[in-house]
């Protein structure tokens, strides 16, 4: 996964892959070094926040600037790596602009995995996983997250369901006739740390009847409604994620 | 408000301003007539769905095509005009692309009024109300709504609050320290038809401390949290709208 760089609330916040810890050196090169030096006009002694998805968030200081890049040293841990709700978004790929938007918003809303799934009515043939990863990193940097969502390899709906982990509830946003709302469903999960969950949204044309029947046959699937209006695919995904976070996730 | 035209689920669905009723004629000209004739290649006898925000949805048939436009006749009412939850979105104006997106999504999510409000940290000086109206009409046509949200005239936060209707609860998305979630707040409203409500979201830089104190001083204001991550202004608005609809609105 590529490293990113972004301004968040006046602080430069960077996702890196290197280990972070008191006194550890973090070398940056390529686009991140370029951004620090030529966009932020950073100098030795300036401070940057770093996170890597494992070691929390660290305040780091720029030590050395050379032709090959920038070296920072971790000074103080500003946040420890906390457990976050384990929430996947499984979605039928959509066009480029709404897909960028969906990646950004789903990252802000705290998903841990973005899983593209091919359905019968999906008309987008190819997922640009690199572009999705870059958007996810940027959104993670800006939103103050301590990790970046994974981007799953695209699979067919049938294959995904065949290998589905039983303990992970799959909330299927069913545009044709669910009765539970995403808020009602599985209220017991509200109590302690939420159980692993996933939201599933279809393509613009919806799921076909055979897919709906297939989904409803699995015990780990809970069909949920998102109201009487026709929502675009990206709207449906974001609405369901927000509702889940507000009822069972880390907004409670 | 301009009239719109859009394809929704294979049906051409149009927002018009004329009265609709059995046997009534609806003349279309300008962009709608152009679209029907030259994009849809419509001919006499073809059917189109019409709504105007007052008379429900009607199946109408194209009767006459002249140089000046198209005339349709209303045949059958396909939906009666039902009451919808009375939900406003009050938001600090944001840049063009996220603003387009916000208008589209908020319309899908069922808002009745989009109210721009100027706050101290708002950096967008001008709201393009015409563009917002056009986006709202297109989204209403595609989402199957029977009405189009109104676009309010931009006002300052102070002026808006001074004239606020006491019976309308204002859910203030407070990025700095609310404890209620949008789901918890005002649970009694869940019972019957929901009371009038509004969601308030700030600019990218958030509300300033004086504004937060002002808001918290009003009895009609309920501060709500949207979790631990920093959400963009448009994400916050959509998340809060979805949560409200799922708990108190017409998704229940």
Judged on CB neighbours under 10 Å (0-12, 13-18, 19+), B44 is: exposed
Query: Inter-chain contact A183–B182, Cβ cutoff 8 Å?
Result: no
Instruction: Report the percent of chain A where pLDDT is more than 90.
Output: 72
CB contact under 8 A, A183 and B238: no
pLDDT at A181 (0 to 100): 59
CA distance B90 to B70: 38
Q: How confident is the model at residue B9 (pLDDT cuts 50, 70, 90)?
A: very low
Q: Nearest to residue A134, comparing CAs of A109, A114, A156, A110? A: A114
Considering only residues A139 and A1, tell me which one the structure prediction assigns the higher pLDDT.
A139
| pLDDT (mean) for B85-101 | 94
What is the pLDDT, as a whole number, of residue B136?
Answer: 97
Average pLDDT over residues A16-31: 95
Contact flag A108-B246 (C-beta cutoff 8 Å): no
Q: Chain A within 8 Å of B83 (Cβ-Cβ)?
A: no
Structural domains present in chain A: 6-79 (2.40.240.20), 87-247 (3.40.1280.10)
Q: What is the mean pLDDT of residues B20-44?
A: 91
Q: CA-to-CA distance for A58 and A62, rounded, in angstroms?
A: 13
For residues B127 and B136, the answer to whether their CB atoms sit within 8 Å is: no
Top mean pLDDT of A47-56, B39-48, B171-180 is at: A47-56
pLDDT at A62 over 90: yes
What ranges in A19-91 are assigned the alpha helix state H? 30-34
- The model's pTM: 0.91
CA distance A147 to chain B (A): 12
Of all residues in chain B, the one with the smallest CA distance to A230 is: B143
pLDDT for residue B219 is more than 50: yes
Mean pLDDT of chain A: 89
Residue-level pLDDT at A99: 93
Band of pLDDT at residue A193, cut at 50, 70 and 90: low
In whole numbers, what is the pLDDT of chain B averaged over residues? 89
User: When comparing pLDDT for B3 and A108, which is higher?
Assistant: A108
The model's confidence at residue A188, banded by pLDDT at 50, 70 and 90, is very low
Confidence band of A182 (pLDDT split at 50, 70, 90):
low
Instruction: Answer yes or no: is the ipTM higher than 0.95.
Output: no
Residue A185 has pLDDT above 70, yes or no: no
pLDDT of residue B146: 97
Cβ contact, residue pair B109, A246, below 8 Å? no
| Chain segment A230-240, per-residue pLDDT in tens | 999 999 999 99
- Quote the CA–CA distance of A210 and A206 in Å, as a whole number: 12
**DSSP state string for A182-197:** TTTSSGGGGSSSPPPE
Predicted confidence (pLDDT) per residue in B39-54, tens digit: 888 889 999 999 999 9
Q: Is A251 on the interface with B (CB under 8 A)?
A: yes
* Rounded Cα gap, residues B181 and A247, in angstroms: 8
* Residue B187 DSSP class: G
Compute the distance between CA of residue A220 and CA of residue A137 in angstroms, rounded to an integer. 30
Q: What is the pLDDT of residue A76?
A: 97
pLDDT at A8 over 90: no
CB proximity A112 to B under 8 Å = no
**Alpha carbon of B67: minimum distance to chain A alpha carbons (Å):** 35
Lowest mean pLDDT among A68-77, B14-23, B29-38: B29-38
Please give the angle made by the CA atoms of B226, B228 and B234, to the nearest 5 degrees. Answer: 45
Q: Is the pLDDT of residue A247 over 80?
A: yes
Please give the pLDDT value at position A55.
98
Count of beta carbons in the 10 Å neighbourhood of residue B80: 9
Weakest-pLDDT range from A25-39, A60-74, A94-108, A190-204: A190-204
| Region of poorest pLDDT, from A81-90, A101-110, A173-182 | A173-182
Quick check: A21 pLDDT over 90?
A: yes
Q: Is B213 helix (H, G, I), strand (E, B) or coil?
A: helix
- Burial code of B192-215, b = ≥16 C-beta within 10 A, e = fewer? eebeebbbbbbbbbbbeeebbeeb
**CA geometry: angle B153, B159, B160, nearest 5 deg:** 60
The pLDDT confidence band at residue B2, using thresholds 50, 70 and 90, is very low
Q: Over 50: is that where the pLDDT of A191 sits? A: no
Say yes or no to pLDDT of A217 above 70: yes
CB contact under 8 A, B183 and A182: no
* Chain A residue with Cα closest to B177: A251
**pLDDT above 60: residue B29:** yes
Lowest mean pLDDT among A44-48, A189-193, B128-132, B233-237: A189-193
Asked if A35 and A41 touch (Cβ cutoff 8 Å), the reply is no
CB half-sphere exposure, A200, CA atoms < 13 A: 26
**pLDDT-derived band at A154, boundaries 50, 70, 90:** very high
Q: What is the mean pLDDT of residues A21-37?
A: 92
pLDDT tens-digit map of B119-159: 999 999 899 999 999 999 999 999 999 999 999 999 999 99
- Rounded to an integer, the average pLDDT of B219-231 is 93
What percent of chain A lies above the pLDDT cut of 70? 89
Q: How far apart are CA B193 and CA B86, in angstroms?
A: 10
């Amino acid at each position: 996964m590529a490293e990113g760089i972004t301004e968040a609330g006046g602080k430069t916040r960077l996702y890196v892959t290197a280990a972070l810890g008191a006194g550890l050196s973090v070398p940056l090169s390529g686009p991140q070094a370029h951004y620090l030096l030529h966009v932020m006009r950073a100098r030795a002694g300036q401070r940057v926040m770093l996170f890597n998805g494992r070691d929390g968030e660290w305040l780091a200081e720029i030590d050395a600037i050379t032709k090959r890049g920038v070296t920072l040293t971790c000074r103080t841990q500003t946040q420890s790596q906390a457990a976050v709700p384990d929430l996947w978004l499984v979605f039928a790929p959509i066009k480029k602009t709404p897909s960028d938007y969906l990646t950004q918003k789903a990252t802000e809303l705290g998903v841990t995995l973005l899983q593209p799934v091919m359905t019968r009515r999906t008309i987008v043939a190819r997922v640009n996983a690199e572009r999705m990863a870059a958007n996810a990193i940027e959104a993670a940097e800006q939103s103050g997250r301590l990790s970046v969502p994974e981007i799953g390899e695209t699979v067919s709906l049938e294959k995904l369901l065949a290998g589905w982990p039983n303990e992970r509830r799959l909330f299927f946003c069913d545009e044709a006739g669910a009765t539970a709302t995403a808020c009602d469903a599985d209220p017991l999960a509200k109590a302690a740390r939420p159980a692993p969950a996933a939201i599933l949204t279809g393509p613009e044309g919806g799921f076909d009847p055979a897919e709906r029947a297939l989904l409803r046959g699995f015990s780990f699937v809970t069909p949920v409604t998102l109201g009487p209006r026709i929502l675009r695919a990206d709207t449906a995904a974001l609405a369901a994620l927000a509702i889940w976070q507000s009822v069972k996730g880390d907004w409670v």
